Amino acid sequence: MKKKQTEEEYVSFMEAYKLTGQAKVEGVKDFMETLIENDVKFLLFAHHISILDKYEEFCVKKNIKYIRIDGNTPLDRRHNRC
């Protein structure tokens, strides 16, 4: 029989999930820099808006051209950004 997940367990799980994303940020930024130095185009996916914000800040700081599409991007603008 499966145990029902309590709200507290769900909140703990989501917090751990967010922390794993945060733990990867510096490594991903290093890898992004390597790709950019080698003139490689790439796609970057992230689950949390706060993590995408960190990657966007990195791009702005390094004066790197990028296109961001996230859950706040209106549907009618997503295709044009691609």
Q: How far apart are CA 70 and CA 77, in angstroms?
A: 11
Q: Are 31 and 42 in contact (CB under 8 A)?
A: no
pLDDT tens track for 12-64:
888 887 888 788 999 999 999 999 999 999 999 988 899 999 999 999 999 99
pTM for the whole structure: 0.74
Q: Which residue has the tokens 């390094």?
A: 62
